[in-house]
A = this chain, B = another copy of it.
Amino acid sequence: MKEIKVGLIGFGTVGTGVVKILQKNSKLIESRMGAKVILKRIADVDLKTDRRVRLRPGVLTRKAEEVIKDPEINIVMELIGGIEPAKTFILQAIRNRKHIVTANKALLALHGDEIFRAAHQCGVDVNFEGSVGGGIPLIRSIKEGLVANRIQSIFGILNGTSNYVLSKMTDEGKGFKEILKEAQQKGYAEADPTYDIEGIDAAHKLTILIRLAFGAAIQFKDVFIGGISEITPVDIQFGREFGYRIKLLAIAKVDGGKIEARVHPTMIPEKHLLSTVGGVFNAIYIKGDAVGPTLFYGQGAGQMPTGSAVVGDLVELGRNHLIRASGRRVPLLSYQPSSIAKVPLKKMDDVVMPFYMRFSALDRPGVLSKISGILGKNDISIAAVIQKGRQIRGAVPLVMMTHEAKEKNVHQALKEIDRLGVILGKTMVIRMENELE
């Protein structure tokens, strides 16, 4: 039987998952691939931790270069994460004509241009299914399954940690900090949860998806980012009263030749499929001009789900290598390099959508009239109002849903409103999505 020799750099959680899958399902993978995967070398700085997998002697090494420079190894999996030394290792491996599998979303979002350019020059493949949506076959679906479609919009729950926190806050009515602490204890959130909670991780992933879906040379810094740490149980409850759920949504749309790219807490209709995605799960809702709406759902992270994606990539690159199709079948970023264009971004100020607003107002006559007057002056019309007597720190929550309004106008109006004497605190604003019917 034919063999394909591979190496692994980074023997952490996902790396260990990959080894487990390659061992447990070796016969199955052979029966599909028609070749045997030989995991020749694994490099990690930590040789001591017991990963509970058996390896032949001599497989483990502390030196990544023993993987990168091994002339027998055709495919290198980079699973250390982070920018350096991952980037250097990948570029070295590419120059040594190794095909690359990685799940490193931060690296691809920030330095993808450099990596894909090098890979293109050297004629090697770079696969990265595990970088977005864990084990969900999403990237492959965008690059191949939906290839006939002009992708119109993407709405993704791309971060499991923040979805877990919001889902738990919704189900149990507890506050952000309490649930985050629980999530940390259960291993669903890291000690420093900034990347997950503040939307940065989701924005890394959205950057990758936008490049693939729209053929747009977008940069990570172009994505507007907002996190979930300000969301309160009160807002979740009011959202429910309007028939909405709050999700940290990664949104990309093409509208009038411009791209919208943003990650922020978003109210979406409770009947929409995305509202039912709970816990650490991920889901991506994609609209194409021919296929219409589609949804892909699964575990967005974790040892075995991400391992599943990495091994899937490994098999694809192995197949390409065996029939000498490497670097020639599907373009690395879905579009031929010459077709990838700078597409203008829509400024966040110009984005139009409905808004949820919760004002902390004194319970006095005329407040509603003052607020709605300022909104109206700024071209913002009100779709629904809830005013209920529950006092929070001396103020009454006055909650509104607007019709479609311009982001810029909302900021302008709130600046005025928050200066009113009858307004006691900063107004809470949550963007809403009305393209999810």
**Residue in contact with A147 in the complex, picked from B271, B291, B311, B334, CB distance below 8 Å:** B311
Interface size class of A (residues with CB under 8 A): 35 or more
Question: How far, in whole Å, are A274 and B123 apart by their CA atoms in the complex?
Answer: 43
Whole-angstrom CA separation of A291 from B339 in the bound complex = 34
The answer to whether the Cβ of A319 comes within 8 Å of any Cβ in the partner chain is yes
| Contact between chains at B298 and A292 (CB < 8 Å) | yes
A150 interfacial by beta-carbon distance below 8 Å: yes
Interface residues of A in 364-421 (CB under 8 A from B): none
In the complex, are the beta carbons of A299 and B308 less than 8 A apart? no
Least CB distance from A269 to B in Å reads 12
Q: Does A88 contact B (CB under 8 A)?
A: no
Q: Are B290 and A149 in contact (CB under 8 A)?
A: no
Chain B residues contacting A311 (CB-CB under 8 Å) are: 147-148, 290
Q: Are B331 and A34 touching (Cβ within 8 A)?
A: yes
Cβ-closest chain B residue relative to A137: B145
Instruction: State whether A329 and B325 are in contact (beta carbons under 8 Å apart), knowing that A17-B290, A295-B296 are contacts in the complex.
Output: yes
Q: Are B329 and A304 in contact (CB under 8 A)?
A: no
8 Å CB interface, A325-367 against B: 325, 328-331, 334-336, 339
Which A residues, 234 to 285, have Cβ-Cβ distances below 8 Å to chain B?
A: 271, 273, 276-277, 283
Do B304 and A293 have beta carbons less than 8 Å apart?
A: no
Q: Quick one: given A34-B336, A311-B148, A312-B145, are A304 and B291 in contact (CB under 8 Å)? A: yes
CB distance from A296 to the nearest CB of B (A): 6
- Report A132-174 CB contacts with B as 1/0, cut-off 8 Å: 0011110011001111111000000000000000000000000
Cα–Cα, bound, A330→B34 (Å): 9
Chain B CB within 8 A of A289 CB? yes
Q: Is A21 an interface residue (CB 8 A)?
A: yes
Q: Report the stretch among A25-33, A50-58, A175-183, A194-202 that lies at the interface.
A: A25-33
A325 to B297, CA, bound (A): 31
A137 vs chain B, min Cβ distance (A): 2
Are A148 and B21 in contact, with the CB atoms below 8 A?
A: yes
Q: In the bound complex, do residue B323 and residue A307 qualify as a contact, i.e. CB atoms below 8 Å apart?
A: no
